[in-house]
């Protein structure tokens, strides 16, 4: 199975900061990568698919980049609503594995 | 945009089985692959398995092999996940998700809480 290594596991930041979360795949996945935001008690919300395509309705401060094995999610200017958990997911192989998650906390 | 509606919360005894449903607003699963994901309390997301109805193929995470069955009923646009031999460690939210084969875009259900308790 393809392993997804996500970092950092916890990130402390302030409103207005630019933050980056990284996901590394154990083998090449082309651009078959999605990013999600999840808040407590809620289902994951799709932010980005195919590594860089912004889901409809998601603010443009979110962006995704990368291909092959290295991927990043960037939030250009943190807003109060962005403090949540974030996950990457690969769907290149027949087993769709997730990263371990990043909890974005208020500094 | 496809909408997925899952069945309601379940409380089960250890050793029993649970079957969760996921109904699509689309009339067919022809263009989708379907996955099931679970999240135990305070934990991350865990992919359990999936099915591509147009090919009739399913595959499962090694951790759940032999204990989970994922099916799809085209006539009702409903997918199912059945998990057997439940233990307290299976207490979790269970989510269905579809990915459009052509675009690679995901849609998720609202989640179903399964509680396993004696």
Give the integer Cα–Cα distance in Å for B113 and A90: 25
Closest chain B residue to the Cα of A97, Cα to Cα: B47
pLDDT at B7 over 90: yes
> Is B45 an 8 Å CB contact of chain A?
yes
Quick one: pLDDT at residue A15?
96
Residues A98-102, mean pLDDT to the nearest whole number: 98
Residues B72-91, mean pLDDT to the nearest whole number: 96
Quick one: pLDDT at residue B60?
96
> Is B46 an 8 Å CB contact of chain A?
yes
Quick one: pLDDT at residue B27?
80
pLDDT at A94 over 90: no
Quick one: pLDDT at residue B1?
79
User: For the ranges A23-27, A81-85, A92-96, B67-71, which has the lowest average pLDDT?
Assistant: A92-96
Partners of residue B56 in chain A, C-beta under 8 Å: none
> Is B64 an 8 Å CB contact of chain A?
no
User: Could you write out the DSSP letters of every residue in B41-81?
Assistant: TT---EEEEEEETTTTEEEE-GGGTTTEEEEEETTTTEEEE
Q: Is the alpha carbon torsion for A71, B35, A55, A101 positive or negative?
A: negative
Give the integer Cα–Cα distance in Å for A9 and A23: 11
**Token pair of A34, please?**
């999605």
Q: Tens of pLDDT along B29-56? A: 888 999 999 999 999 999 999 999 988 8
Q: Tens of pLDDT along A54-84? A: 999 999 999 999 999 999 999 999 999 999 9
Are β-strands B78-83 and B68-73 bridged in parallel, bridged antiparallel, or unpaired? antiparallel
| Residue B33 · residue B101 · CB < 8 Å | yes
Residues A98-104, mean pLDDT to the nearest whole number: 98
Collapsed DSSP state (helix, strand, coil) of residue B91: coil
Partners of residue B46 in chain A, C-beta under 8 Å: 98
pLDDT at B28 over 90: no
Are the Cβ atoms of B104 and A96 closer than 8 angstroms?
no
């Amino acid at each position: 199975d393809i392993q997804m290594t996500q970092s950092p596991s916890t990130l402390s930041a302030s409103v207005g900061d630019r933050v980056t979360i990284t996901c590394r795949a154990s083998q090449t996945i082309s651009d078959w990568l999605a990013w999600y935001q999840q808040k407590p008690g809620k289902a994951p919300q799709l932010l980005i698919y195919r590594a860089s395509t912004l889901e409809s309705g998601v603010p443009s401060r979110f962006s995704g980049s990368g291909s092959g094995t290295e991927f990043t999610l960037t939030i250009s200017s943190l807003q109060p609503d962005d403090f949540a958990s974030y996950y990457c997911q690969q769907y290149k192989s027949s087993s769709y594995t997730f990263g371990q998650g990043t909890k974005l906390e208020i500094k | 945009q496809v909408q997925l509606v899952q069945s309601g919360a379940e409380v089960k005894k250890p050793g029993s089985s649970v079957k969760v449903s996921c109904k699509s607003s689309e009339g067919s699963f022809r263009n989708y692959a379907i996955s099931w994901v679970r999240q135990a309390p305070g934990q991350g997301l865990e992919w359990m398995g999936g099915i591509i109805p147009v090919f009739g193929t399913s595959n499962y995470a090694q951790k759940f092999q032999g204990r989970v069955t994922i099916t799809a009923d085209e006539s009702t646009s409903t997918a199912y996940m059945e998990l057997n031999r439940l233990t307290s460690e299976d207490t979790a939210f269970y989510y269905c998700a579809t990915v459009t084969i052509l675009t690679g875009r995901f849609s998720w259900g609202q989640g179903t809480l399964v509680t396993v308790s004696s």
